[in-house]
Homo-oligomer: A and B are copies of this chain.
Amino acid sequence: MLNIDWKPDKKSCISMYRQIVNYIKEKIGNGEWTVGEKLPSQRELAEKFEVNRSTIVEALDELKADGLIEGKSKKGTRIINNTWSLMASMLPGSWEPYIKSGIHKPNLHTIQIINKMEYKDNIIRLGTGELSPELFPKDMMKKVFKTVSNNITSLSYEMAKGSLKLRKVISKYLKKFHINVSPDSILIVSGSLQALQLISMSILKPGSKILVEKPSYIKSLHVFDFSGVSFSGISMDADGIKLNEILKNIDRNTSLLYTIPTFHNPTGILMPQYRRNKLLDLCNKERIPIIEDDAYRELWLDEIPPYPIKAKDENGIVLYMGTTSKSMAAGIRIGWVVAPETVVERLGDVKMQTDYGASSISQYVTAEWIESGFYEIYLKELREKLKIRREIALNVLEKYFFNMASWNVPKGGFYIWLKLKNKIDMKKLFYKCCKNGILINPGYIYDFTKNYNIRISYSYASLYDLELGLKKLSQIIRSLSDNCYC
């Protein structure tokens, strides 16, 4: 029988039940009471400790929840663990319950792998939606840095909407696309992803539904999940999202439509002017605000694309998102949202509560980059280089994929949406590619239904790697097709 020569202190500020829990934990923890031993009955404990039996029940419940004791009806309560082993399990492994908690879902497993593999050596990145380091305008950027560093007198927190200087520059820059807004209607963010997160947290009721293109980049994100917002996928034709499909999918909970009308991610589709007009009309009529994600606008290769939907938005129903992540450098982490002032204020207020605003340095660099005129000069060169990359990618596809896939010829942006003819196991393909040093973005991370697509990006890998990677990819696909009998 365990020896108990202690009583809780009735005058202590610590509750009786907690004192008892601590006492028993200490006895177990310092090895005085060992695993396997039987505790006295509840009645006996209540007598020894001079407390109510309910206090004992509460204390034992906690010790049970902690995994220290176990009570089986007939056999009484036994010690099944000691504090030290539990303490030890507070080491990394035991953060387990915490890591599994939290309202934000983990990234899709495929994306987690992509995020890690990208930093391995000798990987050919065929899916990366980012400009190749070899396209980075080193010399121009050095000049921009010099000007910025000469002008910086301090680096304080910026206003909730972002640096006024950058907002003025963006306001002027947007006129190029016939978007006429004052700096007050512009919010600076750390890229489009953050813009989506702010929208998710700030202006959507749980239970809301967002209409999105099917497939869509946004499907690969969990940025709306934790707010209780879901997606409804709307199919596309060669001109983009289908309007009659939108009508079919509208219901009470529909609160937004998200679209990438210009060089859509992942399909590369460009929505022509007539479809933009009709989409805006429809959304006006149905009173569904639009999020227009215009990240790829500057990356046209054949001709200037139609103006943004926002350019014709007289009723302020379009939230317009722009960024330099795709057209300049992703690591700068700067984007902007154009919206009615009240919406910008709400988003800015939440932004201040999220990270106190984007890096001031990045804001100054972006302002100088655009204002200096370097951006325009650089874009002209960039388009020529991307055009060459697109040609090479298309030629290589023609060479190795002519009988095994079909694809679009994108008019801009980064992506070729490869559609495989054979129904192979796409996860298997992804892993086999990884093993062979090739990183692809399989279509299943973007789509709502099973598919056999791959998003090929001609923007990132070196020209040599692009050809080598696509050749290897075709071989891997062939090997999987041979085995699939489908």
Given A287-B86, A332-B359, A355-B191; A250-B316 close (CB under 8 Å): no
| Cβ 8 A contact of A101, one of B96, B116, B204, B355 | B204
Is A404 an interface position by the 8 A CB rule?
no
A357 touches B342 (CB 8 A): no
Please measure, in the bound complex, the distance between the C-alpha atom of A90 and the C-alpha atom of B193, giving whole angstroms. 25
- Residues from chain B with Cβ under 8 Å of A360 in the complex: 329, 331-333
Is A437 an interface position by the 8 A CB rule?
no
Interface readout for A349-362 with B: 1 if CB under 8 Å, 0 if not? Answer: 11011111111111
Is A149 an interface position by the 8 A CB rule?
yes
A145 touches B148 (CB 8 A): yes
Given A130-B156, A244-B13, A330-B156; A193-B356 close (CB under 8 Å): yes
- Residues from chain B with Cβ under 8 Å of A317 in the complex: 90
Interface segment among A36-44, A221-229, A258-266, A422-430: the answer is A221-229
Please measure, in the bound complex, the distance between the C-alpha atom of A316 and the C-alpha atom of B87, giving whole angstroms. 10
- Residues from chain B with Cβ under 8 Å of A352 in the complex: 107, 115
Interface readout for A179-216 with B: 1 if CB under 8 Å, 0 if not? Answer: 00000000000110110010011111110100000000
Please measure, in the bound complex, the distance between the C-alpha atom of A50 and the C-alpha atom of B101, giving whole angstroms. 53
Given A141-B149, A349-B112; A98-B289 close (CB under 8 Å): yes
Given A119-B159, A138-B153; A353-B190 close (CB under 8 Å): no
A87 touches B155 (CB 8 A): no
B98 touches A343 (CB 8 A): yes
A18 touches B315 (CB 8 A): no
Q: Which of A281-336 contact B (CB under 8 A)?
A: 284-285, 287, 289, 315-317, 325, 329-334
User: How many copies of the chain does the oligomer comprise?
Assistant: 2
Given A90-B315, A91-B316, A333-B360; A99-B354 close (CB under 8 Å): no
Interface readout for A236-260 with B: 1 if CB under 8 Å, 0 if not? Answer: 0000000011011010100100000
B353 touches A331 (CB 8 A): no
Please measure, in the bound complex, the distance between the C-alpha atom of A13 and the C-alpha atom of B154, giving whole angstroms. 60
- Residues from chain B with Cβ under 8 Å of A325 in the complex: 356
Is A142 an interface position by the 8 A CB rule?
yes
A156 touches B329 (CB 8 A): yes
- Residues from chain B with Cβ under 8 Å of A204 in the complex: 98, 101-102
User: What's the nearest-Cβ distance from chain B to residue A183, in Å?
Assistant: 13
Interface readout for A71-94 with B: 1 if CB under 8 Å, 0 if not? Answer: 000000000000100111011110
Q: How many residues of A contact B (CB 8 A)?
A: 111
Is A365 an interface position by the 8 A CB rule?
yes
Closest Cβ neighbor of A86 among chain B residues: B287
Please measure, in the bound complex, the distance between the C-alpha atom of A62 and the C-alpha atom of B65, giving whole angstroms. 50
Given A106-B346, A349-B106; A141-B152 close (CB under 8 Å): yes
Is A160 an interface position by the 8 A CB rule?
yes
Interface readout for A93-122 with B: 1 if CB under 8 Å, 0 if not? Answer: 101101101111011000010011001000
Please measure, in the bound complex, the distance between the C-alpha atom of A156 and the C-alpha atom of B361, giving whole angstroms. 16
A103 touches B343 (CB 8 A): no
- Residues from chain B with Cβ under 8 Å of A98 in the complex: 203-204, 255, 289, 343
Please measure, in the bound complex, the distance between the C-alpha atom of A226 and the C-alpha atom of B204, giving whole angstroms. 13
21 residue pairs bridging A and B, Cβ less than 8 Å apart:
A13-B247, A18-B247, A22-B285, A83-B285, A87-B287, A91-B316, A92-B343, A95-B340, A95-B343, A99-B342, A102-B202, A102-B346, A103-B201, A104-B350, A115-B349, A136-B155, A141-B155, A146-B149, A155-B332, A193-B355, A221-B353
8 nearest CB pairs, A to B: A331-B360, A133-B154, A155-B331, A145-B149, A155-B329, A359-B359, A92-B340, A136-B154
